[in-house]
Amino acid sequence: MTLQDELKKVKSGFKKNSDSEAQEVMGRATEDLRNSGILDRVLKTGDPIPDFVLETPEGEKISSSKLLSRGPLVIHFFRGGW
């Protein structure tokens, strides 16, 4: 299943399982984001990622460029459980 297919499935599930007020709030928030111009500033497929530094669980700071020097880098964003 492609990411696009998975996103369509999530959207369909949200519409099926949420009330109209939640759908209206989500629709307004989505439209606000579109109108903010954020889509003009996001990375697109094939864009190089800017260098960044994160802290490991042990407290060590490590840069993406250091990790990339070891080979390909996979980044996973976890939004938490809200």
pLDDT for position 76: 82
For residues 36 and 79, what is the distance between their CA atoms, to the nearest angstrom? 21
pTM recorded for the entire structure: 0.52
Does an H or E element contain 9, and which? helix 3-17
First to last CA, the chain: 25
| Cβ-count burial 11-44 (b if 16+ within 10 Å, e if not) | eeeeeeeeeeeeeeeeeeeeeeeeeeeeeeeeee
Q: Return the closest-CA partner of residue 73 out of 62, 61, 60.
A: 62
Which is nearest to 53 in space by CA: 43, 61, 45, 44?
61
For residue 12, pLDDT beyond 80: yes
Kindly tell me if the per-residue pLDDT of 82 is higher than 70: no
Mean pLDDT of 21-46: 92
